[in-house]
Amino acid sequence: MKIPTLVCKQMEDQITPLLRKCTGFRELRKIHARIVVCSLSSSSYLATQIINFCNSGGYVAYAALVFEQVMDPNVFAYNALIRAFAQHHKHSLAIEIYMQMMRERYQRSVFANEFTYPFVLKACGGLVLLDLGKQVHVHVLRSGLVDVPIVLNSVVEVYARCDDLVHAHKVFDEMVERDVVSWNTLISAYVRVGQMKKARTLFDSMPNRTVVSWTALISGYTSIGRCSEAVEAFQQMQLAGFEPDDISIVSVLPACAQLGALEFGKWIHKYANKHGLLNRTFVCNALIEMYAKCGSIDQARQLFDGMKERDVITWSTMIGGLATHGKAYEAVELFLEMETDGTVKPNCITFLGLLSACAHAGLLDEGLKYFDSMLQVYRIAPEVEHYGCLIDILGRSGCIRRALEVIKGMPMPADAAIWGSLLNACRIHGDVDTAVIAMERLLEFEPEDTGNYVLLSNIYAAARRWDGVARMRKLIRSRSMKKTPGCSSIEVNNAVREFAAADVLNPEYGEIARMLELLGSQLGEVGDANTFLEFEHEFCWMRIIS
């Protein structure tokens, strides 16, 4: 029996305050039961409110069930469910509901509006469906919404996510009215694909900027390794009167780590503490990584120990940091603590740090055990990086032949890093024959990498096979190859200075070369023949190649 419209409206008015005051899912279900008993399940108005509540609480499946009970949903109910699906990454379901809405638009006069398209386009972008995004763009044009910034911003975003920056920029240029989101969306698109020149041009053209604008610029510079410019942009943002937020801080910290700008990183730590940002796990994770990469592992551990909540990134970053600093036993102990705690399960990155620790400390048995436990205990399939650590563990322990057998039995092709690891193990243990095998494979990946030739030359030299050394030098000269110079940076008086090996343009190059010769002679006096021999050949190569 159909309830009269007036009576239905009165009952909706009685239930609406209950929905607005609802604080939990159990209470919502009780209210929903009352709605069903009162035969109001088909009310689009009440269904929309329930779906919105479910969206905020993450009960998307329940929202879909509520929607199905509505016989003739209106545009508000459709929009609510599309938004819920899109915001909870159920992109395919969001598109299905939109398609259903399009099929019924003329039959029941339910037409999409400016609140529909942003979430439909978000779903298209989430699935990287460029063709479907173009179709929805056509729907937008036919709907006459060409002057609504929020809709056109979403159109720009879907093209950007599908890496169609030509159409993204075209839509941007044709917008009658652009807001700051329009600019930020296009800038972020260029940043994502590494086109920082265009991103910077847009940024400089912005009439008004926000922290989001600056953060996009900072993260872009960081992602392509232009770390000095990332730090400079962060400082310029502050000079422009913008307070860094948690996202901008996390964007610049990797640049600090790469530059070794420890003092600047410490300042950011103090700033984050002052503004209450250390209660956010991802900020602490970035700080831990910065401290570890800047050589301040004790401060990283202090921050780690003081955290109230830790996720898998926290544990993995700390374990990896300890491994990098040669604190292998501490890294293993921390992993055992993680297992005992049981709150967070290790992932592939956790095991990468753990296996690296075992490799650095020469923990053969432990390394083999943890490698096996990845698949057997945690159901994590080892990737090529994990096999690289295993080869390093076996190589450092002198198990050269076994390492070679592991490489042959890998479920994926070995990469240059694995063959390089084997070649280095051959250097340590003087296995010339296996070194030649590794070198042959390395040449397939890196035929122009002079470092591989230098390493094999050192292996020949350690074995007193001078014919091999001469052959490597001749090969280098015949191919007119140049060794890529090493580069390092150091922070002095809050300024980051970079240095490159064999930089003959450096006015102090002569003094540096004399110091290197002095160090070499002192190594010889100490009696470390192998180290002296390697140093002598490296320095000789530096002079020849430069």
> DSSP for 307-374?
-S---HHHHHHHHHHHHHTT-HHHHHHHHHHHHHH-SS---HHHHHHHHHHHHHHT-HHHHHHHHHHH
Rounded to whole angstroms, the Cα distance separating 50 from 52 reads: 5
User: What are the distances in angstroms from CA 505 to CA 72, 124, 486, 497, 508?
Assistant: 78, 53, 15, 16, 8
Rounded to whole angstroms, the Cα distance separating 229 from 224 reads: 11
The CATH class of 386-484 is: mainly alpha
**Mean pLDDT, residues 388-412 taken together:** 93
Residue-level pLDDT at 532: 47
pLDDT category, 495, cuts 50, 70, 90?
A: low
- The residue among 500 and 227 whose pLDDT is bigger is 227
Quick one: which of 65, 72, 37, 38 has its CA closest to 50?
65
- Mean pLDDT lowest among 95-99, 157-161, 484-488: 484-488
Rounded to whole angstroms, the Cα distance separating 345 from 56 reads: 27
Please, which contacts does 138-147 make with residues 24 or more away whose CB atoms are closer than 8 Å? 139/102, 139/112, 143/111, 143/112, 143/113, 143/117, 145/113, 145/114, 145/117, 146/176, 147/176, 147/177
User: What are the distances in angstroms from CA 332 to CA 30, 50, 143?
Assistant: 50, 49, 61
**Mean pLDDT, residues 210-224 taken together:** 95
By residue count, the chain amounts to 546
pLDDT category, 37, cuts 50, 70, 90?
A: confident
pLDDT category, 336, cuts 50, 70, 90?
A: very high
pLDDT category, 224, cuts 50, 70, 90?
A: very high
Residue-level pLDDT at 12: 74
pLDDT category, 458, cuts 50, 70, 90?
A: confident
Q: Kindly list the domain boundaries of the chain, sorted by start residue.
A: 386-484, 502-546
CB neighbours of residue 466 within 10 Å: 10
Residue-level pLDDT at 542: 45
**Mean pLDDT, residues 430-441 taken together:** 81
Rounded to whole angstroms, the Cα distance separating 328 from 320 reads: 9
Per-residue pLDDT at 535 exceeds 70: no
- Mean pLDDT lowest among 367-371, 376-380, 429-433: 429-433
105 within 8 A of 112, measured Cβ to Cβ: yes
**Mean pLDDT, residues 218-230 taken together:** 94
Tens of pLDDT along 276-289? 999 999 999 999 99
Residue-level pLDDT at 503: 62
3-state SS class at 520: helix
Per-residue pLDDT at 440 exceeds 50: yes
3-state SS class at 72: coil
- Mean pLDDT lowest among 69-83, 105-119, 323-337, 399-413: 105-119
Residue-level pLDDT at 457: 73
pLDDT category, 461, cuts 50, 70, 90?
A: confident
353 within 8 A of 319, measured Cβ to Cβ: yes
Residue-level pLDDT at 42: 83
pLDDT category, 201, cuts 50, 70, 90?
A: very high
59 within 8 A of 25, measured Cβ to Cβ: yes
Residue-level pLDDT at 15: 82
Chain centre to alpha carbon of residue 105: 42
Paired residues of 499 in beta bridges: 488
Residue-level pLDDT at 523: 65
Rounded to whole angstroms, the Cα distance separating 94 from 110 reads: 16
Please, which contacts does 97-104 make with residues 24 or more away whose CB atoms are closer than 8 Å? 97/67, 98/123, 101/75, 102/139
Annotate 63-87 with b (16+ C-beta within 10 A) or e (fewer). Answer: bbebbebbeebebbbbbbbbbbbbb
Residue-level pLDDT at 18: 81
- The residue among 39 and 271 whose pLDDT is bigger is 271
As a whole number of angstroms, the longest Cα–Cα distance in the chain is: 103
What is the dihedral sign for C-alpha 230, 233, 238, 241?
Answer: negative
**Mean pLDDT, residues 137-155 taken together:** 91
Mean pLDDT of the chain: 86
Tens of pLDDT along 57-96? 999 999 999 999 888 899 999 999 999 999 999 999 999 9
For the chain, what percent of residues have pLDDT higher than 70? 85
Per-residue pLDDT at 190 exceeds 80: yes
**Mean pLDDT, residues 526-544 taken together:** 48
Residue-level pLDDT at 451: 67
pLDDT category, 36, cuts 50, 70, 90?
A: confident
Quick one: which of 30, 97, 103, 21 has its CA closest to 60?
97
Residue-level pLDDT at 463: 65
Residue-level pLDDT at 533: 47
**Mean pLDDT, residues 292-301 taken together:** 95
E-state strands within 111-202: none
Per-residue pLDDT at 544 exceeds 50: no
* Element containing residue 487 per DSSP (H, E): strand 487-492
403 within 8 A of 422, measured Cβ to Cβ: yes
3-state SS class at 88: coil
Quick one: which of 52, 214, 193 has its CA closest to 119?
52
Instruction: Transcribe 498-515 into DSSP letters.
Output: EEETT-TTSTTHHHHHHH
175 within 8 A of 203, measured Cβ to Cβ: no
Per-residue pLDDT at 230 exceeds 90: yes
Residue-level pLDDT at 545: 39
Q: What is the pTM of this model?
A: 0.76
Residue-level pLDDT at 371: 95
Per-residue pLDDT at 515 exceeds 90: no
For the chain, what percent of residues have pLDDT higher than 90? 59
Rounded to whole angstroms, the Cα distance separating 351 from 316 reads: 8
Rounded to whole angstroms, the Cα distance separating 468 from 476 reads: 12
